[in-house]
Structures are given as structure tokens and as C-alpha cells.
Amino acid sequence: QAKSNGRHGLCFFDPSMQAALLAHVKLESDLRQAQASQQWQLYYQPQVDHYGTITGVEALLRWHHPERGMVSPGDFIPLLESNELINDVGEWVLEDACYQLARWAQHPRLSQLTISVNISPLQFRDEQFLARVEGVFARTQAPLQQLKLEVTESLFVEARDDARDKMLALKARGVRFSLDDFGTGYSSLAYLAQLPLDQLKIDQSFVQQVLESQANAAIVESTIVLAESLNLEVIAEGVETKAQQAWLLAHDCHAYQGYLFGRPVTAAAIERLIIGD
Ligand code: C2E
Ligand code: MG
Ligand code: MG
Ligand code: MG
């Protein structure tokens, strides 16, 4: 029956719609395949202090698709989040990062590095989350004081007490928390003080416009002051120019991440940056 169907009047014979649907289904089955056949890789982007010394890295997921080449997370994380796969892939990410931390802990020049790992709100809210994380910690024996978990403000929109309880349980193990993309979400100053956070990460959209836009400069400046008064560390992400870094330094922000200091690269490349070859 090539006629519109159901109360939404959807017609399933529109060729462009059908193509989009097939592409979506294909991508989803490719993602399952990626998980089964290890097409994931973690890249690491340097985080530096005001001397330019690398103090840590952020782990960023890459997908080596057999036909399409490298696919960026913006294109597939939302798909992973639309089904249960985010829990398995997120566990793989954490485990790989923790093994990396444990390996670096053996090396005198790398043993102080921190690794920040992005955690999807859906993954964090899952009732198996803490059990999965404990499994990863037991298997990897990573130094947990050097692990930071990056969460976003959307995590605290609903079930805030549950999120807070889980954070407290992980803090008791030494793990630290960073609030990613700060300023882009449902910021409520009231909850910030109640959460066991360690760091605010100023979103790159503000940082990149800091010299061009008065409004963005004001947002960045008050975030730095807020972090200071709540006793939180602050890091700026998306720093691309020396002028942006100079502005940040002049406004008392001493930690940076961005293309100015290095793009996301392999763990081996991070080691070469720090120890040389
Ligand atoms: P994010 O956590 O805010 O990560 C920062 C993103 O900004 C990264 O993009 C990084 O490559 C990019 N970036 C860093 N410095 C600069 C800069 O100076 N200029 C510009 N234009 N961009 C910069 P990427 O790797 O494509 O990741 C995008 C987002 O995907 C991440 O944003 C994060 O939300 C998500 N993501 C990445 N890996 C994971 C993961 O393992 N798990 C989860 N749940 N999400 C992830
Ligand atoms: Mg992040
Ligand atoms: Mg971010
Ligand atoms: Mg972002």
C-alpha cells in the first residue's frame, strides 16, 4: 500500500526518506560491528599549565570505520546514546584510559599525568554504572587520583541526588570530576555549590570569541571568578591563539587545552612530546 499510513500520515515510499532510514540503520549496525571488532581508538589531547608543561590529557574517542575512514564522535556518540551501546562503548573507553594511566604510572616522566574521560549522562545514570566502573578499576589497577571524569550540566537536570550519590561514591575512591562545556547548559549556581566537583571547564565557544565579544569575555571572566570562589580548578578549552592564552592568563586562568598546545594524538605521540624520542 503506497499510501500514507497511520495518524501521522507518514509515507514510507518517499525515496529520500527511505535512503535516510537505511543509512541510519546501516550506521547503527556498523556501530555494533565496531564494538565487536575493536574499531575504536583513544586519542589524547594535551592539557597544559601556564608554563606550557603538559600536566594531563583528555581522552577523545575515534572510530576507524572500514569504508569511511575516521568518523568523529559528534557523528556517532548521539547514536550510541540512542540505544544501550553507550554503556558498553563507554566502559571500553574508561578501561582503555585506565590501562593507559596504569602504564604511565610505571614511567618516571609520565607518572604524574592525569587523564580526563568523558562520561555520557545516559551512561552515568545507568543503574549498572558504578558496578561497571568498579570492574574497570579492579582490572586495570589505575592510580585513581589521576583520573578525572568529565560530566556535563545536563546530568543534573533530573535525578540530581542520584548523580550526586554516585559522584560521592567515586570521590571516595579518589576520582575527580570536571564539569565540561561549562556555560552552555542549564547552569544553576545553586546546584554548583552542592555538587562534589573539582574543576570547571570553560566551553570553547566562549574561549574562541573572548577577544571579539564583550559578552563572551564577561562570561569567561565570571566563570574564572566563580571557580575561584567555589574553590574549583578552572581550565579553558579550545584555546587556539597566543592572544587568547594571554588574555586568559591575565584573567587568572592557568590551565589550557586547545590546538595552540596540541591536537588530539595517539598515546605514543603524547609520550614522544613529553620524553622526546
Ligand atoms: P568535548 O569533551 O568538549 O571535547 C573537546 C572537543 O573539542 C574535541 O572534539 C576536541 O578535539 C575539540 N577541540 C579541542 N581543542 C580545540 C580547539 O582549539 N579548536 C577546536 N575547534 N576544537 C578543539 P572531538 O574529539 O571531536 O569530540 C567532540 C565531543 O564528543 C566531545 O566534546 C565529547 O562531548 C564527545 N566525546 C568524545 N569522546 C568521547 C567519549 O569517549 N565518550 C563520550 N561520552 N563522549 C565523547
Ligand atoms: Mg570533554
Ligand atoms: Mg568540552
Ligand atoms: Mg564541547
Q: What is the DSSP string of 122-180?
A: HHHHSTTHHHHHHHHHHHH---GGGEEEEEEGGGGTS-HHHHHHHHHHHHTTT-EEEEE
Q: How confident is the model at residue 1 (pLDDT cuts 50, 70, 90)?
A: very low
Spacing, Cα 1 to ligand 4 middle (Å): 45
* 102 DSSP 8-state letter: H
Query: 238 in the Ramachandran plot: left (φ > 0), alpha (ψ -120 to 50) or beta?
Result: left
Quote ipTM for the complex: 0.98
- Cell 572500514 belongs to 66
Return the residue matching grid coordinates 600536566. Answer: 55
Buried b (16+ CB within 10 A) or exposed e, 169-195: ebbeeebbbbbbbbbebeeeeebbeeb
Assess whether the C-beta atom of 70 lies below 6 angstroms from ligand 1: no
Query: What's the average model confidence in pLDDT over 3-15?
Result: 57
Pocket residue to mutate for ligand 1, from 89, 118, 124, most atoms within 8 A of Cβ: 118
Cα–ligand 3 centroid distance for 234 (angstroms): 12
How many C-beta neighbours within 10 Å does residue 36 have? Answer: 8
**pLDDT tens-digit series, residues 182-236:** 988 876 777 888 899 999 999 999 999 999 999 999 999 999 999 999 999 999 9
For residue 208, give the 3-state DSSP assignment: coil
Query: Average pLDDT over the chain, rounded to whole?
Result: 92
Mutate to test the pocket of ligand 1, among 77, 98, 119, 125 (most ligand atoms within 8 A of CB): 77
Res 2: pLDDT:
43
φ, ψ of residue 198 in degrees (nearest 5): -120, -25
Which atom of ligand 1 is nearest the CA belonging to 72?
26
Question: How far does residue 4's CA lie from ligand 1's centre (Å)?
Answer: 41
Of 60, 201, 259, which is best to mutate to test ligand 1, by the most ligand atoms within 8 angstroms of its C-beta? 60
Q: Output 45 or 193, whichever has higher pLDDT.
A: 45
SS3 content of the chain, % helix, strand, coil (to 5): 45, 20, 30
pTM confidence score: 0.93
Q: Is the pLDDT of residue 3 over 50?
A: no
* Whole-number Å distance between alpha carbons of 26 and 3: 26
d(CA 260, ligand 1 centre) in Å: 15
Closest residue to atom 43 of ligand 1, CA basis: 118
pLDDT by residue (tens digit) across 102-146? 999 999 999 999 999 999 999 999 999 999 999 999 999 999 999
DSSP code, position 111: T
- Take atom 37 of ligand 1 and give the residue whose Cα is closest: 60
Q: Quick check: 7 pLDDT over 70?
A: no
Convert the pLDDT of each residue in 224-275 to its tens digit. 999 999 999 999 999 999 999 999 999 999 999 999 999 999 999 999 999 9
CA–CA dist 12, 18 (Å, integer)? 7
Q: Is the CB of 235 under 6 A from ligand 1?
A: no
- For residue 121 and ligand 1, the question of a CB distance below 6 A is answered with no
Does the beta carbon of 113 lie inside 6 Å of ligand 1? no
Whether the CB-CB separation of 198 and 234 falls below 8 Å is answered with no
